[in-house]
Chains A and B, each alone.
Chain A
Amino acid sequence: MGKDGTHARSAPDLRVQLGPLSLKNPVLTASGTFGYGQEFSDFLDLARLGAVVVKGISLEPRPGNPPPRIAETPAGMLNAIGLENVGVERFVAEKLPYLRKRNATVVVNILGNSEEEYAALAERLEDEEGIAALEVNISCPNVKEGGIAFGTDPRMAARVTEAVRRKTTRPLITKLSPNVTDIALIARAVEDAGTDIISCINTVSGMAVDVFSRRPKLANILGGLSGPAIKPVALRCVYQVVQAVSCPVIGIGGIQTALDALEFLLVGASAVQVGTASLVRPTSAVEILDGLERFLRHQGLASVREYIGTLDTSCRFPLAEETCAGDE
């Protein structure tokens, strides 16, 4: 039954609540794969999306890494963009007004080389209108002196989160890297440091080489893997983080279809972000949204919230306790 007594035959309720952040639906775009939104306006209505997460913004503009920056791999791609972006001032002056005009729900992804830079960014954005939340990228593996250090050390991850927390009253999302030994440890650290929401995963560190030229395929040598290839890793990370913390989690990694998105909701993510899929098919995010709605109708569910976190992990045929508990 719906909230006003009507039956589930009416459109399923897609709204989700992530701590202080209310979203009209659980399908967001992933930072760095959706530009500043405007690039996609010929293909879809930005206002339909749960949120548009923009390309990572730093205090100063960044030129990014030398090319080649992209290499295709089986069912995935490596990127080493190097966090090229227009800088916070141009973002506020040129990009944000467009997103406001289109009634998009905006999440601003931020990055820096020091706690002070993250804090200064949060402070600079605090009074700008039309920002629903901040997402702190502590995990980008591309910039040698940047992101990597914060995301792989629980104390540093907590310190960045705290630094941003002190400067913003907005809902705060901390985005985790999968390139760590124990993601649950980092998740607990940033939750304790005051993040409202955790998103994961960022790209998986990887490499590709050319056997004929004997050169790395990326000028940066190492890059971040994304796309369908990383989905099982991402799902595992989201599952472990959901078990470890009590704050809401946003699932990211290899989501191409509505069924992929549902896998993340099933293990307990309250929302998802669509990344590489948008690069290949610009309409991916809205198609996933439509597919989600179809699925809920098909399953006779009145709300997406009835589906989130309903994974049944009970052991059906226990031979010995260990067989079920093990991970293979």
Chain B
Amino acid sequence: MPKTQEKARLLETRRVADDTHRIVLYAPRITATARPGQFVMVRIASEGADPLLNRPFSFHRIHKDDGLFEILFRVVGRGTWLLSQRKEGSSLDVIGPLGNAFPMPEAQEEIVALAAGGIGIAPMVELGYRLADWAREKDSRQVFLFYGARTASELVPLGKLERRGIRASFSTDDGSRGSCGTVVDLMDQSVRESGLLPQRLYACGPLAMQAAVAAWAHEKDVRATMSLESVMACGIGACLGCALPAAHPDDSSRARHVHVCKEGPVFDSRKILWEKMEPTPVRPLTFVCS
């Protein structure tokens, strides 16, 4: 699929949850070949070099017929804060579509689950719509969604996704919505109550959550497909900056690196050396948005 550099028009920007924004971009060339799981690099600065580097964001929704895609993002630093301040009608340089996509379930797989923590919901929504369509093709197919956040006001409304037949459940750290606990607690609860163990898990979220989901999946022998992050400069495989520690294909004791923008961002969880992953430092927002 050809990668494109395109001037995208910002058609709509909206705050959808605490510190969380959704923007709609008109970029027909990028949208034409975009698939769920892939991402774009967005130039934040309208001119000059502040900030210098583009920021990676997953496709949240892809509307091929209209040449539009949506990004859902959380304000975590200066770049995302500046993006949240961008006005409708302005334009942004965007490069995409980049990286690989979520694979659809294999023929023998009928029960699949999506696990999202916090802003990790972003790439799961487009995938959720595709899986809802997939599930409608056959009665025995089922799609679960486990979605957790710190508190109710951080949960992003899921729109029509629930009405498409996806069985969604929620968790919050403080119990303000859904069950009190983590996404992994939700998954345990669901398996207990429904008696259905998913054959495939799709997951995205903070590192600790993803590592816990990966461990859960390994223990239960469930195939887990994860969308991962790393600091990026180029997004196109040129700088080798986005490396993550990975298991060697033949020899599990030998570490190697995978590059999130090229071999990812979607990985089979067994490929990743979770114990060697460095969590991204969190910066209190009071020191960011001024």
Contacts and interface: CB of A to CB of B under 8 A. Distances in A.
Contacts of A63: 255-257
Identify whether the interface residues of B are mostly helix, strand, loop, or mixed.
Answer: loop
Nearest to A81: B240
Interface string A54-73: 01000000011011111110
Contact of B257 (A34, A64, A212): A64
Interface stretch (A89-97, A133-141, A154-162, A278-286): A278-286
Interface in B221-239: 230-234, 236-239
B270 interface: no
Contact of A84 (B52, B238, B257): B257
A40 B240 contact: no
Interface in A211-234: 212-213, 215, 219, 227-228
B249 interface: no
B53 A72 contact: yes
B236 A282 contact: yes
A129 interface: no
A76 B52 contact: yes
Contact of A42 (B4, B230, B231, B284): B4
Given A35-B238, A212-B283, A279-B234, A227 B257 contact: no
B232 A227 contact: no
A64 B43 contact: no
A75 B49 contact: yes
B159 interface: no
Contacts of B283: 210, 212
A213 B3 CA distance: 36
A33 interface: yes
B50 interface: yes
12 contacts: A32-B240, A43-B5, A63-B257, A67-B242, A69-B241, A75-B50, A81-B241, A84-B240, A210-B283, A212-B284, A279-B233, A280-B233
Given A42-B4, A280-B53, 13 more contacts: A32-B240, A66-B278, A69-B243, A70-B53, A70-B231, A70-B241, A79-B239, A84-B240, A219-B278, A278-B234, A281-B5, A281-B93, A282-B238
